[in-house]
Amino acid sequence: MQTLSFSVQGLKQLKEECDSLSIELGTACLIQLFSSQQPEIVDEYYAYLQHFFPNAEVIGLSVIHSSIGASIFTDSTVISVSILNATQLTSASVFHSQDENRVGHHLLKRLSIDDKTKAIIAFGCHGSASNYPLFDAFSEHENQVPVSGGVAADTGKGTWVFLNGQFYHDQIVAVAMHGEQLQAWSEAFVEWNPIGKRFRITSSEGNVVRTIDNILAYDFYCKYLSDKKSTQLSQIQAFPLMQEEDTARYINAVEEITEEGYLKFASAVPVGKEVRLCYYHPSLTQEQVNQGAMRLAQKQPESIFIYNCESRIESSSESTELQTFSDIGPCQGIYGMGEFFRSHKQLILHHSLTYLALRESELTTVDPLYSHSPREHNLTPLFSLIKNSIQDVDQMTLAMEKKISDQSMRLMHTYRTDRRTGLFNRMVLKERLESITRTDHLLSFKLTNLSQVNEKYGYQVGDKLLQDVSHYLDTHLSDAVHTPIELYSIGIAEWGVVFNSDTNSEVLRKYITDFIEDIEHFSFEPYGLSDVDYLSVSISGGLISRRDFINTAVEELILKTVEARRIAMRRNRHLCNARDLLKEERLRQSQLDWLTSVNRAISQKGVLVYGQPIFSAGEHELVSTECLMRICENGQVFAPGQFLPAVEGTHLYTRLSREMITRTFEIMQSNDMDFSINLSPQDLMSDRTLDLLESSIIRLDNPFRVGFEVLETEQIQDYDRMIEVCNHFKRLGARIIVDDFGSGYSNVDEIMKLEPQVIKLDGSIIKNVHQDKRQRLISQQMVQLCHALEAKVVAEFVHNKEVCDIVEDMGVDYLQGYFLGAPKSLMQ
């Protein structure tokens, strides 16, 4: 390998330099262009170089300063030509994107990295090189090739990188070098040395830092630099903050002290960022370079490429550093805005000097010419001592942190696992469900006969059975549902299972049902019970699919699948799908809403009394009014069919009924109209309701005006009690009316014992008598039966003239229905 470098300011000068080269036309080589000139001029250089070196890979970038040997150039282009004898090159460029890691893998693939790859030179623009997950791909590759190079600078004529005739402004360009004989070495000399422990920014806004480790920023510097005495800005500026972000290090210097004691930095420092104080002394870097150069000299490099930081250009030791490397071999390089370097992982450094040294030929036995004797500095060993002492403290801290972490992990493991089965518990399941997808499903299983096993054989046997069932689920369930599963313990003898499948719900139900049948037929060996052949288990399960409950919260998903499992057990089924319970759930929710509405209606005087008239047959004269309940909510009136099912069987119903009775008697007290009130079996069993009815009847001048419509249904548990109550009210003068006679449940014997004065034929029988001869015949016979029982007959649901005429011909006594009169409010 041979590297020749020269600086040019125009095409004529380039031609002269190329003509002076004694290189065979068409030789394979690597050309690097380091330029502070316009891209158009660089393009002209490339066109000529391509003619002169047709087999060359050409890579470059914009820089303000570049170097050859110990000389530094600006307003020119440094061209470095490396003649390669046994090295192959590959090159690639990739666009910067949000997914840096993916871009890195793409670049790695395009460079064709293999075990012969020894070095990579890469250049990036600032926008594409500010984050370096991109280089994680290189760190993960089995052949961890070092990436050298740097970040382009804004020259005032643009910021760009270059590869084989193309300029890029938001890309990474790279050349990989492959060869069995090629050897490569790299090293970095960091100008800023971190001192002390890491601190955390606890309050900041933009570039202004208010507190560090909850100490006022200025007081923080006073504490560490002058033992809490006042400190000058110049002293503070000598100790900037070092930020480490993934694979990059940044130096952030203080620019100003505010009146409040805040510190304004050169760039923003977000809250929570960890920082360290750092310090620079020229002798430190020079000494590092001298020692590094001595090590490198032993390698006898044929080419040395220096990738330096632009911030170091004014350093008084800069030319000395470059001369140090020039004494070893051909040396050329750049001053960029960031330096690529690999140590334990690929990094991007700042304010540093890095090099890449290469050799293709065999190592000679002659001692290298470089024999520099470094000058001794007290500061160098002092800072080395400080650094290594801090590293020792850091190691002790890390060891303590690891010990605490291990203990925490053990505690966390205990907190996150079930002690009986060793499975992850409900908390871990909830964490897993935070990332649930549309095609995920959640199962819950319950061993329903564990208590019997514990009672009969003991808890030790029960605990072993739980472990055996867990093992069975873990090893067999995935085969049953044809997909991998994740098993959790979510309660005593209760398991949660997550799996992903596109299979429809019916097929899944069959898979899981068949699995439960299989496990219930499996013979589990009882622990320590030689006289018992096997233990049988009983399992119930609940299933919920995310696709059926897209917007349901995680905790709610678990509750729904557990509820589905309980329903399955209650209904003596192996499995219940939560989707099948949606209708019941909506009904329950509706009932809860109605409970609230009814409660509000009672407390806010929203219970209304409506009345539907009852007329005499033939003359169609008004003889009575059936008082009907309504409630009013937000100006809207609701019929009993909407809210009564929700409150029946609850204490709220008896309150509602008593409110209706009170309002009805208040209205009817002021007139002499006959009226009737509906009473349910629940009313007849409530002492408070019966007391209210009795007191209300007694206050009427004519108790016979009121009739109590009782519904004869299967809900009546104590007929003797009902007959006793009705007879009591008859003795007080009220009428007893049997409602909805013929509605599907009618016990004629009990009706005979009740001896009602009036029987109302159910509307379901009456409404079709004009169309159905059988209904007409049945209705006729029922009218005759009622008359035989010496009771008056009311035909309900008289909805048109034809029905009215037919029931009158049957001999009914009274008529009720929309044809004659609809319910209307009796409220004033």
Max Cα separation, the chain?
139
Instruction: Check residue 7 and give its pLDDT.
Output: 95
Scored b (16 or more CB within 10 A) or e, 303-337 reads: bbbbbbbbebeebebbeebbebbbbbbbbbbbbbb
CB of 152 closer than 8 Å to CB of 337: yes
Instruction: Check residue 133 and give its pLDDT.
Output: 63
CA atoms within a 13 Å half-sphere pointing along the CA-CB vector of 281: 13
Q: What is the DSSP track for 441-455?
A: EEEEEEETTHHHHHH
CB of 311 closer than 8 Å to CB of 356: no
Instruction: Check residue 320 and give its pLDDT.
Output: 79
Instruction: Check residue 709 and give its pLDDT.
Output: 93
Q: What is the DSSP track for 70-92?
A: TEEE-SSEEEEEEE-SS-EEEEE
Residue 583's Cβ-count burial label (10 Å; 0-12, 13-18, 19+) is exposed
Residues lower than pLDDT 50 in the chain: 127-131, 316, 376
Which domains are seen in the chain, by residue range? 2-190+284-359 (no CATH), 194-279 (2.40.10), 426-584 (3.30.70.270), 605-825 (3.20.20.450)
Q: Helices 459-481 and 505-520: crossing angle, nearest 10°?
A: 140
pLDDT > 70 fraction of the chain, expressed in percent and rounded? 91
Distance CA 790, CA 250 (A): 105
Is residue 411 left, alpha or beta, with left meaning phi > 0 and alpha meaning psi from -120 to 50? alpha
Single-letter amino acid, residue 730: K
Mapped onto helix, strand or coil, the DSSP state of residue 57 is strand
CA 652-655-658 angle, 5° bins: 150
Residue with tokens 């209205």: 667
CB of 68 closer than 8 Å to CB of 6: yes
Reported in sequence order, the residue ranges of 388-474 that DSSP labels E, i.e. its strands, are 440-447
Distance CA 606, CA 632 (A): 5
Instruction: Check residue 655 and give its pLDDT.
Output: 93
Residue with tokens 């990989």: 176
Scored b (16 or more CB within 10 A) or e, 539-574 reads: bbbbbbbbebbeeeebeebbebbbbbbebbbeeeeb
